[in-house]
Amino acid sequence: MSGRFGARLARAVAEKGPLCAGIDPHPGLLQAWGLPADAGGLEKFALTAAEVIAPEVAVIKPQSAFFEAYGPPGVAVLAKTMKVCREAGALVLLDVKRGDIGSTMAAYTAAFLPAGAELEADAITVSPYLGFGSLAPAIEVAQAQGKGLFVLARTSNPEAQGLQNALLPNGKTVAQDIVDTAAAHNAGVGPLGDIGVVVGATIAPGELDLSKLNGPVLAPGFGAQGATPADLRALFGPGLPGVLPASSRDVLKHGPDPESLRAAVRRTRDSLGPLEKGQ
C-alpha cells in the first residue's frame, strides 16, 4: 500500500475500470455451485471467486455477514479471501456497515483499517445513523492509515426511503446532509477524497446533489437489482469520477466454472466503459 486511498482508487479505476465486484457467499449461491452450506463450501466458493475475479477489477467487495454467519471458521475464510484479493492487485472494500459510538466504534475500526490487522481492508462501509460525528474514530484511523470509508447515504433498499429522504431543520434531506458532511472531509483533496458515500443505483435521478462530494460513490443495485449502465449515467451524470457500480449475484451466478465466471466479470466490467468516458 502506498499513499491515500482516494489516490490509489483513482489509479486502479483508470487501469481496470470502475466495476466493484462483490463476493457474497449467499447460501443460495453455494447451493447453485453444488457446494455445502458449511465452512468448507464457503472457502471453496470464496477463494474460487477471489482467484478469478480479483485480477480483473479495481475493487472487490466481500460481504462480511455471509462469512460471519459461519462463526470463527467463516471469519478465517474471510481473512484468507481478502489476502488473495489484495495479492491479486485489487483494492478490498469490506462491506461491514459498522456504526457505533466512542470506544466501540474505535474497536470496530481497529478490526479492519490498521496496517497488519487480521481483517485489514483498503476501505470499509460504515453507517452514520448514530450521527455522522460518531464516525470520528473511523475517519481518524482511515486518514492516518491511508484507508477509505464509504458512508451509507441513500441506499437502494425500499425501506430506507422514509428515513433517508426525511427533511432536517436545515432544509436538507438526511441523505443529502450525509453527502455534504462527507464532502467537507474531502474538500481540497485531489484527485479524489477518501470519504465516499453509498448511493443506490436504483434511486430516482435528482434526489441527491453529488457535485461537491469530491469522493468515491459506491453504487449498489447494478445488475441483479435492475440498474443498467444507462441508468447509472442518468443518475450520476456521464463521466462522474469515482462512481463504483457494484455487482455480485449477476457475476457469481456464472460459477463455479472459472472460465464462465471470468467471462461474466469481463462482460460486466466492459459494459461500464461509457460511464467513465462520458459517452
Superfamily for the 5-277 domain = Aldolase class I (3.20.20.70)
pTM of the predicted protein model:
0.95
Annotated catalytic residue 172: no
131 in Cβ contact with 178 (< 8 Å): no
Higher pLDDT, 43 or 226: 43
Options 16, 83, 97, 253, the catalytic residue: 97
pLDDT in tens, 18-50: 999 999 999 999 999 999 999 999 999 999 999
Q: What is the pLDDT of residue 276?
A: 42
Q: Is 62 left (phi over 0), alpha (psi -120 to 50) or beta?
A: beta
Strand, helix or coil for residue 12:
helix
pLDDT in tens, 72-114: 999 999 999 999 999 999 999 999 999 999 999 999 999 999 9
Average pLDDT across the chain, whole number: 93
Angle at 211 between CA 214 and CA 113, to 5 degrees: 30
pLDDT in tens, 127-157: 999 999 999 999 999 999 999 999 999 998 9
Contacts for 252-256 with beta carbons within 8 Å, 24 or more apart?
252/22, 252/23, 252/24, 252/29, 252/49, 253/29, 253/32, 255/29, 255/33, 255/45, 255/48, 255/49, 255/52, 256/33, 256/34, 256/35, 256/44, 256/45, 256/48
What is 156-178 written as a DSSP string? SSGGGHHHHTPBPTTS-BHHHHH
Higher pLDDT, 246 or 274: 246
pLDDT in tens, 47-66: 999 999 999 999 999 999 99
- DSSP tag of 102: H
Cα 156 to its chain centre, rounded Å, is: 13
